[in-house]
Amino acid sequence: MNDRTNNTKHTIMSKYMFLFRGGNARFSIDPEADPQGWQAHMMKWKVWMDGLAAKGRLVGGEPLDQPGKVITGRGKKVTDGPFVEGKEIVGGYVMVNAGGLDEAVELSKGCPIFEYDGIVEVRPVQEMNM
Amino acid sequence: MVATLTRLFGARHVGLAEDVVQETLLKAMHEWPFRGVPEQPAAWLYRVARNLAIDRLRREARGLELLKENAALLRSEWTLSSTVGELMSGPAIADDQLRMMFACCHPLLPPEQQVALVLKTLCGFSVPEIARAFMTNEELINKRLYRAREAFRELGRLEVPQGDALTARLDAVLSAIYLLFNEGYHSVSHAAFIREDLIVEALHLCQALLDHPVTQRPEVRALFALMCFHAARTGSRSDAEGTILLLKEQDRSKWDRALIALGNAHLDGSAEGERFTGYHVEAAIAAAHANALSYAATPWAYIVTLYDRLLHFKPTPLVRINRAIAVSNARGAEEALRELSAVDELHDLNLYHAARGDLLHELGRHAEAREAYRIALSLTRSPAEERVVRRKLEALG
């Protein structure tokens, strides 16, 4: 289990977020009608994230459900949302530790979201100093 | 199932694993009477347990200290259900059972705690059932289990040891299984002389070791063979009234031939490999009896040589007494009596005096035989054994 912690030794790690847009597998696989297909798909997520965890890179993450609410107008206006369409809907996120943006991009490869034409946006967590 | 869930939650949370199993069984008790027993009850139970485990993790994962290798996966909805699903699949379950068996027999725990823990976590016995099996009160069993769980908490993780450590721990596992079997086979503490449930559990556990490539070892096969030979005779060891029948009196047509054949096959298989253990010798002795056509046709001289070898592994009073019985059949009661009397450490044992009584009876020294049986009676604690000695006394007239 040592390989899960040791990789952080030489490089300074920062947090990066993978924002997933589109690529919702539920549009292609119905978990009720095809439980095995769905299971196989979720297993791919497990394998990918287990790989990140094994390298000591996985911080956490969750898939996001719809619908939600969108709050605007200085917190006064609440509407049903999200109001963007299909490909742009944020469907979840994963946080990782990486030694730089390039490495974070490298880590995103193999993400199952790509199988359903999803988009991964890799963004560094901004360090807010006072 | 507790074993698998403990693997999932971590050894620290055996209690949580037991809760989930309890909840699963409650659900079955509520649903089965109305909807009928599902076609695959085991699969149903595992599915329900899996879903309950997922619920618990969903609600409590942040507060639980989970095992490092799966903590992040159990805390994310991306991976929670498939991680639990994978851990609760067929091959993983077999591994968990093995791991749990090895954890239960950790050298930190004294043997009686090991066996109590095995019965609770692997055989699904309730505390009152374990207390009954060992003729003690529930409070004592609860205390044993509590201490064992404390020790588990210290361990943190369940692992099957490797290399030499595996051999050492496997010995502890085998002796716990044999202890369990013996408690079932001649229950000193129980009103019913034979406890078949314990015998069956011991055979199951040993079979689980045989099914796993890591623990398919010659000594495991030897123990399995030994238990097969003994178990084959279960039905003939007492009469309709529950009185013990001696080997000489047993109806050999009632012996389970299939079990004896299984024992023979495993005994043959146990010969490969370098390790030669007490189980090998005991199994060879049991095989000589099980395969003999009658008491008279038993190869007694050969059995005496086997007992000589067994004394190297187990120089116990019981082995000496059994050897003396073999000697009396091979070379006559006189020599057996001489050898038996030479060992001082036996004199507090009821079985020693009962065996002496038999030998004296055979030699026609009836007064001395009667005296020996009376001492045996004063020392015995088992009602079943007491009846045997009384019968022998009556036979003397």
pLDDT of residue B157: 67
> Is the pLDDT confidence value at A68 over 50?
yes
Give the pLDDT confidence score for residue A14 in this predicted structure.
93
Which pLDDT belongs to residue B328? Answer: 94
- Pick from B68, B78, B85: which is nearest to A63 by CB? B78
Tokens 């696989």 belong to A29
* pLDDT tens-place string over residues A46-56: 999 999 999 99
Distance between B146 CA and the closest CA of chain A, angstroms: 30
What CA–CA distances, in Å, run from B133 to A124, A125, B195?
62, 61, 8
Confidence (pLDDT) at A1: 39
The answer to whether the CB of A120 falls within 8 A of the CB of A108 is yes
ipTM of model over 0.85? no
Residue B286: its pLDDT value, please? 95
For helices B80-87 and B41-60, what crossing angle results, to 10°? 140
The pairing of strands A14-21 and A77-81 is unpaired
Give the pLDDT score at B311.
93
Q: Give chain B's mean pLDDT.
A: 86
Of B76, B85, B86, the CB nearest to A60: B76
CB atoms within 10 A of CB A13: 16
Q: Give me the mean pLDDT over the A12-30 stretch.
A: 89
Closest by Cα among B264, B246, B266, B268 to B256: B264
pLDDT of residue A6: 47
Cβ of B73 under 8 Å from any chain A Cβ?
yes
Contacts of residue B112, Cβ cutoff 8 Å, sequence gap at least 6: B134, B144
The chain A residue lying nearest B81, using CA atoms, is: A42
Chain A nearest CA to B199, separation (Å): 39
Stretch A9-15: mean pLDDT: 77
Residues of chain B with pLDDT under 70: 133-135, 156-158, 187-194, 242
Q: Of residues A122 and B98, which shows the higher confidence score?
A: A122
pLDDT the model gives residue B156: 65
User: Which of residues B77 and A11 earns the better pLDDT score?
Assistant: B77
**Mean of the per-residue pLDDT values of chain A:** 86
- The pLDDT confidence band at residue A2, using thresholds 50, 70 and 90, is very low
The residue length of chain A stands at 130
Which of B69, B79, B86 shows the shortest C-beta gap to A49? B79
Show the domains of chain A with their CATH numbers: 3-124 (3.30.70.1060)
| pLDDT score at A5 | 46
Query: What is the distance, to the nearest Å, from the Cα of residue B329 to the centroid of all Cα atoms in its chain?
Result: 30
**3-state secondary structure labels for all residues of B106-142:** CCCCCHHHHHHHHHHHCCCCCHHHHHHHCCCCHHHHH
In tens, the pLDDT along B348-390 reads 888 899 999 999 999 999 999 999 999 999 988 777 788 889 9
pLDDT classification of A8: cutoffs 50, 70, 90 = very low
Q: B68 CA to chain A: closest CA distance, Å? A: 8
Over residues A73-97, the pLDDT tens digits come to 888 888 887 667 777 888 999 999 9
* Domains of chain B, first to last: 1-88 (no CATH), 102-212 (no CATH), 217-298 (no CATH), 316-397 (1.25.40.10)
Q: Which amino acid is at B168?
A: A
